[in-house]
Amino acid sequence: MTWDDILFHLKAIAAGLETIHEKKLIHRDLHIGNILYCWTGSTITDLGLCGPIDKSNHDKSNIYGVLPYIAPEILNGQDYTSSSDIYSFGMIAYEIISGSPPFPDISHDEILAIKICQGLRPKFKIKVPQLLIDLIKKCLDANPLIRPTATELLESLKQWYLDKRYNNVTEFYKQVHEAEEFLRSNTPLNTSLSYKTSSPTIYTSIDYLNLPVPKNADDYYSQNNLSSMNYSGQINIMVILTYYKYIVADN
């Protein structure tokens, strides 16, 4: 998938999220498996848990979702907000850009939930424009008030897409060009996004108790990547309620 393709899909997802939020709704279950890809753009699907912004999360002991995409404040028992969807968008952006799910080969268990609340975020293993990294970092900030709105996301992504497509020599264009040159020099450019998780991703009801108060890693904004933290800890097996598998491909 080229950078033109990546930006095209990200802005389409941001536009869909803006529409949902403009209607005073929250998706509440946004993850890569709920994104439909086609040549005309990307569409957000599966609105089964979608609800009004002012709807309280009454059953805070049971949260449904794909753990890496659930905002840390939700894991901590707070109500869903539009900012919770923005966190999920940040993880989707990571997966589209990197071609890998967040935290692959790690059990979606209480230990991972604790690490996420303590500031664990996935790392890019490829060169990514710093402006885009900075935007995604804001989406994944532990403080919901720091996260951009869907409209702000769309404005940035739309402008960057136009800069790349029409060769507008802006700072973002220069950073994309550097990323492309780095990929050409170091690894074969992957022109498609196609993968499976090595084991089924778990979609489950989460009822973890007494998780730590969400925070960023101490060096969160001093790093030029999403995270400097490494996952460590015992990997526990959790009860699997429902599996889903997916393959994402650029058509």
Q: 146-162 pLDDT, tens per residue? A: 999 999 999 999 999 99
Query: Greater confidence, 56 or 26?
Result: 26
Contact 17, 27 (CB under 8 A): yes
193 pLDDT above the threshold of 50: no
pLDDT-above-70 percentage for the chain: 75
What is this structure's pTM? 0.83
Average pLDDT over residues 213-235: 77
- Contacts with 189 (C-beta within 8 Å, 6 or more apart), sequence order: 2, 180, 183
- Contacts with 4 (C-beta within 8 Å, 6 or more apart), sequence order: 161, 164, 165
Diameter of the chain by CA atoms? 52
- pLDDT by residue (tens digit) across 104-137? 888 888 899 999 999 999 999 999 999 999 999 9
Query: Greater confidence, 228 or 249?
Result: 228
**Which of these, 239, 233, 238, lies nearest to 114 by C-alpha position?**
233
Q: Report the DSSP pairing between strands 25-26 and 201-206.
A: unpaired
Domain 3-244 coded CATH 2.60.40.10: no
Catalytic residue among 29, 85, 109, 163: 29
Is 219 part of the annotated catalytic residue set?
A: no
Q: Where are the domains of the chain?
A: 3-244
Where residue 205 falls among pLDDT bands split at 50, 70, 90?
low
- Contacts with 245 (C-beta within 8 Å, 6 or more apart), sequence order: 196, 197, 200, 201
**Cα–Cα distance list, 179 to 102, 158, 221 (Å):** 21, 19, 21
Contact 35, 45 (CB under 8 A): yes
- pLDDT by residue (tens digit) across 46-82? 775 555 666 665 455 567 789 999 999 999 999 999 9
